[in-house]
Amino acid sequence: MNDTYETPPSPYWMLQFIVKHGDWIALVSGMLPLLASIACVAVCGITPWAIAVGVVGSAFLFLLMRSFVELVRVIVDMLLPK
């Protein structure tokens, strides 16, 4: 007989992924508006004010994602069984 048993996958795999990789997710998603604004200025010839808008959008999105990651970490720490 085979005595090896597979453990079932966690139903909260996405929460575990966010807890583990949340810092990188927030950083990368925060950089996207800035990179998009630089690309728009370079490719489309839009006024350089678009870069300033990209900087503000990047800061806002980074802070929003960072707070989301911290909220998920608190939920996982307090509510999910260990």
**Selected residue with higher pLDDT from 10 and 32:** 32
Q: Which of 39, 69, 73 is nearest to 54 (CA)?
A: 39
**Selected residue with higher pLDDT from 35 and 9:** 35
pLDDT in tens, 11-52: 888 999 999 999 999 999 999 999 999 999 999 888 889 999
Q: What is the pTM of this model?
A: 0.79
Cβ atoms 29, 61 nearer than 8 A: yes
**Selected residue with higher pLDDT from 67 and 9:** 67
Cβ atoms 54, 37 nearer than 8 A: yes
Rounded Cα gap, residues 16 and 13, in angstroms: 5
